[in-house]
Amino acid sequence: MNIVEVTGFGGPEVLEVRQAPDPVAGPGQVVIGVSVVDVMSIDAQLRAGWGKEWFPLRPPFVPGTGVAGRVLSVGAGVDPAWTGRRVAALLPAGGYAERAVAGLDTLVAVPDGVGPREAGALIQVGPAALSLIDAAELKPGARVLVTGAGGALGLPLVRLAAAAGADVTAAAHDPAKRAAAEGFGATATLDYSELTGHSDSGGADPDGSAFGDAGGFDVVFDGVGGQVGSAAFHLVARGGTFFAYGVPSGSTAQVDPGEAEARDVRLVGMEQVQFTPERFRRLAQRTMAETAAGRLATVIGLAVPLERAAEAHAALASRELVGKAVLLVTAE
């Protein structure tokens, strides 16, 4: 079968198509004939050599942790009825391939009405978005800021927050991303330069138009980190909540716990989007149900064949991509 390997740490060009033996399902596992591979920002970061202290990866390795497709075969202890079913799964690695092995504990059935592209695009960001929204406990009229709002996770967050009755401000650096967020329910948008400028003014918009009369946001979802995330933290209203889960900038937002305590700001970190297999599976099942019902979605801004994985990584690096990038492994 064809796989795409990281042949050495570096730019997108280190991704190369190779041949590998077809995998075999072990006990409690299935082999999936992959239709769609989810391309995550962290895939590109790990390819470049980031995060070695947390991820003990050494080239060559096959990236990719989210796939959708059909079950081709099952291992010992797995109900044979899974064979032939449309599924999506979270993998420890190895998703950039024509076939992948998944454990039952992170495997979910894909319902009618959800296509393979949708399933692959949402298998990872869907559970994350639902977990963040659940933890935010949004009330109608809540003032919400989403950074990275035109990205793969930002767009579902905007939609879910707007559906909960929140007044959502979407922050993104690109006009196309801000427009996409408006299409998903944002009532206002900010460029990152505006965001950092507002934070310098002490957390209140001079004319009150972006942040409301009280100044600040009740909830901030920071999917960017770095300088943008730090600026967003300063815009949380007293008694609000700041979710810091994004690292595409290379680091999470730098937040002063003392300042958070002084303003009674609740800080929630990466733990909100890190799951046990059991919790992931519950959230993934909800993701598929919400997607089938039309309540959860993202934008697939780029869909290319598996062998063009380098192109997908380059698109992520450009930061111009709206929504998700996915790799297409079959014609399904």
Tens of each residue's pLDDT in the chain, 332 residues: 999 999 999 999 999 999 999 999 999 999 999 999 999 988 988 898 877 767 778 899 999 999 999 999 999 999 999 999 999 999 999 999 999 999 999 999 999 999 999 999 999 999 999 999 999 999 999 999 999 999 999 999 999 999 999 999 999 989 999 999 999 999 999 999 988 776 554 444 433 344 544 469 999 999 998 889 999 999 999 999 999 987 765 567 888 899 999 999 999 998 999 999 999 999 999 999 999 999 999 999 999 999 999 999 999 988 889 999 999 997 44
pLDDT at 218: 97
**0.95 exceeded by pTM:** no
User: What is the structure's pLDDT at 250?
Assistant: 59
Q: All domains of the chain, ordered by start, with CATH? A: 2-109+299-328 (3.90.180.10), 126-273 (3.40.50.720)
Q: Which residues does 195 contact at the CB level (< 8 Å), separation at least 6? A: 147, 171, 228, 231, 232, 235
Q: Which pLDDT does position 97 carry in this prediction?
A: 98
Other beta carbons within 10 angstroms of residue 92's beta carbon come to: 10
Please tell me the predicted confidence (pLDDT) of residue 205: 43
Residue-level pLDDT at 201: 43
Residue 176: predicted pLDDT: 96
